[in-house]
Every structure is written in structure tokens, then in C-alpha cells.
């Protein structure tokens, strides 16, 4: 693959050959698994990996509620992480929730963090080593000195720029985008359904291959090229801010574009009765259509 900056991605092959670094008690390297279902970690995980429970550890409620700095400091420190640790995050569902953990770490200005390309899916397809052993590492002091607001979207700012041709990407599935009730596996967090006006629907999963790895740069530019604007930062959003973090990762970290993750997403937007909502009804089939 050829990206402007390959550092945000860690290949499974490289990790397999350097697992010893991630099993040391020293805080230089740390491997972190983040899943939609935290119990899959117990079934198997990569040797040396510690776990973040996404719903309990990394957010404080759904939709725009990142854990506060004090909680984040405690979480990362207990995992044996310092500000200088090289962190590789990975998980199930093509790194769906691991992508959000990456974004949170970047929001709290952790410099050296990467996503394992392909996550659990690719690792298992390759039949690389797995374990059920849970490691324990010495706790460390982790100090957060600020936030990177340039990667976080806010409702009021998006409202103010709706008429400025700012690229907005709704990364949810078409059913949600059209304004229908979400499928059962998606939390129904609002009474209003639809999408932010001017937003295009580009489901987050378009960025990954069947094995969970990210598509090549050329393919990603075909998918997202029309949503990259030199003068306006692109906005990615979903329902509660985790799926959109993967699209943000592609835009910002792999394609080098100016982009924000609106982590308040549809949950926050729809709760504001003053925020405009659009819906799209599927075309009615004419008589004789199959």
C-alpha cells in the first residue's frame, strides 16, 4: 500500500515478528484490544494484548461523551501505558471500536498510536498465534496535558457551516440515512430519524476489504475523493461516534485530509429540535418493475 503516511497502520506481519516487544513489562510498547463484544477477548486474543472495554472504559454515555481526562489518565496508566508508549489498537468488526479508541487517544494528544490493519479478522485468517492468557503489567503514570480540538466536530460549528458546502459524510447504513428505524444491532438512541442536511451517505465499511484490512490508497481516493476539500474540514458522523471514527481515520490518517469526527453524531443532533433533519424515501417501483 502507498499512503502519504504509513505510520498510523501496523501490519499483522510486522506485529507477529515483534510480539516480544509487546509482552515486556517495560512501557515502551503496548497492544490493546477493543471490541464490540468484550467477551471475544476471553475466547482468544493476541499474546501480550490488554483489553479496553469500549462501553465501560472509553466513553461516558452515548453520543459526544468521551471519558474525562482524569478517567483517561487512570485507564491508560493501569494498562501500563505512558505518554511515550507506542500503542497498537485492534479489535473485531474490522476495527470498528478500536478505531474509536484510536481517535480518543489522538484527541488526548497521544502521539504514537497505530491501528493493526485487519484487526482480529485478519489475524485469525492468517492463523497467527492466539492465547487466552491475560497479561498484567506494572501501572504507570499517565498525564494528559490537553486535547486536540482540530479532530473533533461540534454541533454548533456544523450548524453554522451547513450552507458553506462543507463535506459531511454520514457513515451509517442506508436504512438509517433514509430515516428508517435502525436495525436491531444498532442502538435506537433518538426519536427523530434521518440525516444532517447536505450529508452524503458513504457507509464506513466501504473502506475495508473482506479480510478487515483497509483498501489501497487508490481505492480509498475513489470512494472519498469528492469529500476532500482543501478549504473545509470534512465531517464524519454516525449514531454515537464510533463508526465515524473509522472514516475519520481513513480521511485524516491515511489520506492526509483535514477531517473531524463528530462524536456527538446523530444522537446529539436529533435530540436538538432546532437542528434540521432530512429524510430520503426509497423510490416507489412502477407497475411492471421487478
Does this chain's domain 9-147 share its CATH topology with 150-271? yes
Q: How many CB atoms lie within 10 A of CB 128?
A: 15
Looking at domain 150-271, which of 3.40.250.10, 3.50.50.60, 3.20.20.140, 2.30.29.30 is its CATH number? 3.40.250.10
What residues in the chain have per-residue pLDDT under 50?
282-290
C-alpha–C-alpha distance, residues 80 and 51, integer Å: 12
Spot the catalytic one: 238, 240, 257, 270: 238
Q: Quick one: fold of 9-147?
A: Oxidized Rhodanese; domain 1 (3.40.250)
Q: Which of 153, 57, 40 is nearest to 105 (CA)?
A: 57
Report the chain's C-alpha Rg in angstroms: 19
Q: Is 238 a catalytic residue?
A: yes
Q: How many CB atoms lie within 10 A of CB 277?
A: 17
Q: How many CB atoms lie within 10 A of CB 138?
A: 8
Residue-level pLDDT at 284:
41
Residue-level pLDDT at 191:
80
Locate the domains of the chain by residue range: 9-147, 150-271
On whether the CB atoms of residues 245 and 263 are closer than 8 A, the answer is: yes
On whether the CB atoms of residues 125 and 220 are closer than 8 A, the answer is: no
Amino acid at each position: 500500500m502507498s499512503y502519504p503516511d504509513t505510520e498510523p497502520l501496523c501490519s499483522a506481519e510486522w506485529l507477529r515478528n515483534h510480539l516480544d516487544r509487546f509482552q515486556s513489562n517495560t512501557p515502551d510498547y503496548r497492544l490493546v484490544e477493543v471490541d464490540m463484544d468484550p467477551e471475544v477477548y476471553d475466547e482468544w486474543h493476541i499474546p501480550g494484548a490488554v483489553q479496553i472495554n469500549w462501553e465501560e472504559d472509553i466513553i461516558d454515555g452515548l453520543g459526544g461523551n468521551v471519558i474525562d481526562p482524569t478517567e483517561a489518565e487512570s485507564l491508560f496508566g493501569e494498562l501500563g501505558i505512558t505518554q511515550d508508549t507506542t500503542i497498537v489498537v485492534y479489535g473485531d468488526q474490522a476495527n470498528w471500536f478500536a478505531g474509536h479508541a484510536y481517535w480518543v487517544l489522538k484527541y488526548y494528544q497521544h502521539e504514537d498510536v497505530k491501528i493493526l490493519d485487519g484487526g482480529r479478522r485478519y489475524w485469525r485468517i492468517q492463523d497467527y498465534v492466539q492465547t487466552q492468557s491475560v497479561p498484567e503489567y506494572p501501572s504507570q503514570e499517565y498525564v494528559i496535558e490537553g486535547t486536540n480540538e482540530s479532530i473533533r466536530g461540534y454541533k454548533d460549528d456544523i450548524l453554522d457551516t451547513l450552507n458553506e458546502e462543507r463535506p459531511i459524510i454520514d457513515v451509517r447504513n442506508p436504512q438509517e440515512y433514509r430515516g428508517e428505524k435502525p436495525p436491531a444491532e444498532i442502538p435506537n438512541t433518538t426519536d427523530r430519524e434521518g440525516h444532517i442536511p447536505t450529508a452524503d451517505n458513504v457507509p464506513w465499511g466501504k473502506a475495508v476489504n473482506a479480510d478487515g484490512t483497509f483498501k489501497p490508497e487508490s481505492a480509498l481516493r475513489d470512494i472519498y475523493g469528492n469529500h476532500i476539500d482543501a478549504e473545509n474540514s470534512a465531517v464524519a458522523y454516525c449514531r454515537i461516534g464510533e463508526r465515524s471514527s473509522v472514516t475519520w481515520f481513513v480521511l485524516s490518517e491515511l489520506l492526509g485530509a483535514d477531517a473531524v469526527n463528530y462524536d456527538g453524531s446523530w444522537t446529539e443532533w436529533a435530540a436538538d429540535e432546532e437542528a434540521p433533519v432530512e429524510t430520503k424515501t426509497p423510490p416507489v417501483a412502477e407497475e411492471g418493475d421487478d
